[in-house]
Structures are given as C-alpha cells and as structure tokens.
Amino acid sequence: MKPATSCPCGSGRAFGACCGPALSGERPAPTAEALMRSRYTAFTLRDTAYLLASWHPSTRPQNLALDEQPPPKWIGLEVRAHRPLADDRAEVEFLARCRIGGRAQRLHETSRFVKEGGRWYYVDGDLHD
C-alpha cells in the first residue's frame, strides 16, 4: 500500500502517517488504540505475520489462516472507546464492518491490550451483540 493512500483504519490520515510504520516494523504502535487500528488494517491487507506478532504470546494462536471463502471485504472501522486502565493495560471498544459474499457483517468487540517491553499487544476480547 502506498504511504499517501488513505489509511484503511478510517483515521482520515495517510497510511504512511498512520498504521504503515507499525505494520512495517519501523515504529511500534504508540497506544492500544493505534495497535487496534493497525491490526484492523492488517486484516484488510491479510498481513498474518503482523497479526501474530502483535498478539500477546499467552493467547496467540499457533497460526492464522485468513483463507475464508469468499474472503471478507473490510469496509470500515469505528473506534467507540479507548479506555486506558493503567500504564500498561487498556481496553478498546470498536465496531468493524465487512461484507462476506455480499452480506453485511458487524464485529462489535471490546479488546484487551497489554504493554510489555515498550510494545502494545492484543490479548483477547469480548464480543457484543
């Protein structure tokens, strides 16, 4: 993805000034919300290596196959809340929208994040109806 392209996470910023540096490994996501946004962007780009690397080792799956057929088309992310709980813990509530085979789907989740060694990691999340 070109740095000047509008970032898939919907921040309104260019990819190169938003999720790009996190995905390339140039600069870790500075906040839990930024990490959450970068993971959404990684889903849209089917970047499994980044998704696994940003997953906390305690809950990280062995591997991640993004090979659903038909593939989901991610169409938007809305961050509803970013709740810092401590310097190294936070929750982010978000709504992600996609289309699977033409049918609209919503993923409404509150995700938990921890910071270790200067990096934020996704731990797990609770789905909302």
Q: Where does this chain bind Zn ion (CB under 5 A)?
A: 7, 9, 11, 18-19, 37
CB atoms within 10 A of CB 58: 9
- Residue 7 or 32 having the CB closest to Zn ion: 7
- Residue 18 or 51 having the CB closest to Zn ion: 18
- Residue 82 makes CB contacts below 8 A (sequence gap 6+) with 31, 32, 33, 90, 91, 92
CB of 25 to Zn ion, least distance (A): 15
- Residue 2 or 103 having the CB closest to Zn ion: 2
Q: What angle do CA 58, 61, 64 make, to 5 degrees?
A: 150
For 83-95, give the DSSP string: EEEETTEEEEEEE
- Residue 24 or 59 having the CB closest to Zn ion: 24
CB of 38 to Zn ion, least distance (A): 6
CB of 58 to Zn ion, least distance (A): 26
Residue in 58, 55, 49 with CA at minimum distance from that of residue 36 = 55
